[in-house]
Amino acid sequence: MKGFEHLQRELEEMKDNGTYRQLIPLESEQGSTVTIKGKEVIQLSSNNYLGLTSHKRLKGAATKAVEQYGVGTGSVRTIAGTLTMHEEYERKLAKFKHTEAALVFQSGFTTNQGVLSSMLTDEDVVISDELNHASIIDGIRLTKSGRKIYKHVDMDSLEEQLLASMDYRTRLIVTDGVFSMDGNIAPLPAIVELAEKYDALVMVDDAHASGVLGKNGRGTVNHFGLDGRVHIQVGTLSKAIGVLGGYVVTSETLKEYLIHKGRPFLFSTSHPPAVTAACDAAIDVLLEEPQLIEKLWENTKFFKDGLQKLGFDTGISETPITPVLVGDDALTHRFSDELFNEGVFAQGIVYPTVPKGSGRIRTIVTAEHSKEELATALSAFERAGRNLGLLKE
């Protein structure tokens, strides 16, 4: 069809410089192994930390909700699309997180957009870590507030930006709880101390920490013993929680404000009953099956140690997100292809998702992986690494 020529040209350029991507469909349900192109491979690229995407209790809750309440809600939350289960779930989530209130959005992405775009005006300033997630960056783009960027996890840089922001009404520091490409944890205790010193608010995006860090997976705030000292926690229900959605846990006031001003909340349809029921069951699983999180960390240690013993550089990771640093973009993709041939699905991440020259294979183990699967994956990494000259003979 005509009219898209300049877009086609840009796509061709992407193919030329190696940034063009193809979607890779799974032919099975998500799990520790998946079927791709007819081949069973070990899955190391999902965010399904606890294996909840196919957990029996979540599937049971979702099925029951479909039978009882149907498949959709037919309206946005603010008109006719709030079911009692939506509100019950929010009360349960707030209680779980030890906060005054919780509000669920369609996704983690829209939560960041909704929160940031609605609460900040040109009288306010947002101070953001330079490696924050795209949804935070986009949320900030939608505001008229002042914008400051501090160097990645650099507390001197954050303090400088705070000092330069004292004329604003509200200073909002925003950071990922766990950074999704390197797997390092934000220095939250130091951030909170600076925030208290300079009278700033703190917002943490716990997308990769919910269900992973803290008691029963309550997140980074709980992990560092900072309950009650962080004003806004955002998270996703799409990663460790295994379903779909985003949430903000915060004050009663901000929740009420977002119900009136959070644009994705106001203008996009609410979650189907199956989604909410499954998310509800996920909290029960977090509370009643703590062995899943224990297994996740046990597997993380086993796999990370294994990679390091082989001689791979896993960067500054402290969490189940373990990058295997390669460097060159094309070599990163070849490594990923080689791993696939060896029976392991582990995607390469290159520029523009990470800085040029810092291409990596990004792995995430889950609680579902058996030791045997992880040992098999490590042998695959070893063979592929030697074939490509990444490991010494």
Ligand X SMILES: *Cc1c(COP(=O)(O)O)cnc(C)c1O
* Shortest separation between residue 32's beta carbon and ligand X, angstroms: 20
Interface residue with ligand X among 48, 97, 102, 108 (CB under 6 A) is 108
Q: Catalytic one among 133, 148, 239, 295?
A: 239
Select 246 or 306, whichever has its Cβ closest to ligand X: 246
Rounded to whole angstroms, the Cα distance separating 286 from 274 reads 18
Interface residue with ligand X among 238, 332, 358, 363 (CB under 6 A) is 238
The answer to the question of residue 205 lying near ligand X (CB under 6 A) is yes
The answer to the question of residue 184 lying near ligand X (CB under 6 A) is no
- Identify whether 157 is a catalytic site residue: no
The owner of tokens 């959070």 is: 262
Span between the terminal Cα atoms of the chain, in Å = 53
The answer to the question of residue 207 lying near ligand X (CB under 6 A) is yes
* Shortest separation between residue 178's beta carbon and ligand X, angstroms: 8
Number of shown-chain residues binding ligand X (CB under 6 A):
14
Which parts of the chain fold into alpha helices (H)? 5-17, 56-69, 84-97, 108-119, 134-141, 155-163, 188-197, 220-223, 252-261, 263-267, 273-288, 291-310, 329-341, 371-387
Strand 201-205 to 232-236 pairing: parallel
Interface residue with ligand X among 117, 220, 236, 347 (CB under 6 A) is 236
What's the number of CA atoms in the CB half-sphere (13 Å) around residue 211?
A: 30
The answer to the question of residue 273 lying near ligand X (CB under 6 A) is no
* Shortest separation between residue 121's beta carbon and ligand X, angstroms: 23
- Identify whether 239 is a catalytic site residue: yes
Close Cβ partners of 29 (under 8 Å, ≥ 6 residues apart): 53, 54
> What are the beta bridge partners of residue 201?
172
* Shortest separation between residue 109's beta carbon and ligand X, angstroms: 4
Interface residue with ligand X among 183, 219, 242, 246 (CB under 6 A) is 246
SS3 at position 28: coil
Q: Catalytic one among 148, 208, 271, 295?
A: 208
- Identify whether 238 is a catalytic site residue: no
Cis peptide before 189 (omega within 30 of 0): no
The answer to the question of residue 208 lying near ligand X (CB under 6 A) is yes
Rounded to whole angstroms, the Cα distance separating 366 from 293 reads 9
The answer to the question of residue 109 lying near ligand X (CB under 6 A) is yes
Residue list 134-163, contact with ligand X (CB under 6 A): 135
The owner of tokens 């939250």 is: 188
Cis peptide before 352 (omega within 30 of 0): yes
* Shortest separation between residue 147's beta carbon and ligand X, angstroms: 18
The answer to the question of residue 180 lying near ligand X (CB under 6 A) is yes
Backbone angles phi, psi at 148, to 5 degrees: -130, 140
Backbone angles phi, psi at 355, to 5 degrees: -55, 150
Residue list 43-82, contact with ligand X (CB under 6 A): none
Rounded to whole angstroms, the Cα distance separating 234 from 95 reads 15
SS3 at position 203: strand
Select 165 or 220, whichever has its Cβ closest to ligand X: 220
Which segment (204-212, 288-296, 302-310, 330-338) binds ligand X by CB under 6 A?
A: 204-212
Interface residue with ligand X among 90, 176, 342, 368 (CB under 6 A) is 176
Select 90 or 176, whichever has its Cβ closest to ligand X: 176
Report, as residue numbers or ranges, the catalytic residues.
Answer: 180, 208, 239
Binding site for ligand X (CB under 6 A): 107-109, 112, 133, 135, 176, 180, 205, 207-208, 236, 238, 246
